Structure 1
Amino acid sequence: MTPKEICHELQIPEQTFYQWRVKHAGPRAHRIGRHLRISLTDFNAWLATTEDPLV
């Protein structure tokens, strides 16, 4: 997935995604050439860690 696809899925601005990257708070990403990609497996694993237990 691209950062743009992640942001669309989460309905967040791209700036938020890149701020998470700086803070090491977002999903694991891989640089392929000059492109940043996030595997669907890594995205889903990260998303599972952000679940609110009270919901």
Structure 2
Amino acid sequence: MASAVTALRAGLPDRYLTPDDIAELFGVPLETVYHWRKQRTGPPGFRVGRHVRYDPAAVRAWVAQQSEFDAAA
């Protein structure tokens, strides 16, 4: 979703992100997003009933952390 990308750059969107949003945002397959979650290596998500959602602020913090980690390597 282009709106998710725009919203993350401009400020918090008015909704939590779905796994599909995360996959599109990072240009990876949906299976990769679920693998990240299982391995606890991707952006932190949380459950709302049966559904996984991502707080845009947490996703932004995760991206910053990954950038710092890569710069230090």
- Tell me whether the two structures share a fold, i.e. TM-score over 0.5: yes
Give the number of the structure with larger relative contact order, counting CA–CA contacts within 8 Å between residues 6 or more apart. Answer: 1
> What amino acid maps onto 2:35 in structure 1?
Q
Of 5, 29, 34, which aligns to 1:18? 34
The unaligned stretches of length 5 or more in structure 2 are 1-16
Cα distance in 2 for partners of 1:25, 1:6 equals 13
Q: CA deviation at 1:3?
A: 0.5
Q: CA deviation at 1:16?
A: 0.7
Cα distance in 1 for partners of 2:40, 2:29 equals 17
Cα distance in 1 for partners of 2:51, 2:34 equals 14
The unaligned stretches of length 5 or more in structure 1 are none
Q: CA deviation at 1:22?
A: 1.2
Q: TM-score, normalised by structure 2?
A: 0.68
Q: CA deviation at 1:34?
A: 1.2
Cα distance in 2 for partners of 1:4, 1:16 equals 11
RMSD of aligned alpha carbons: 1.2
> What amino acid maps onto 2:37 in structure 1?
R
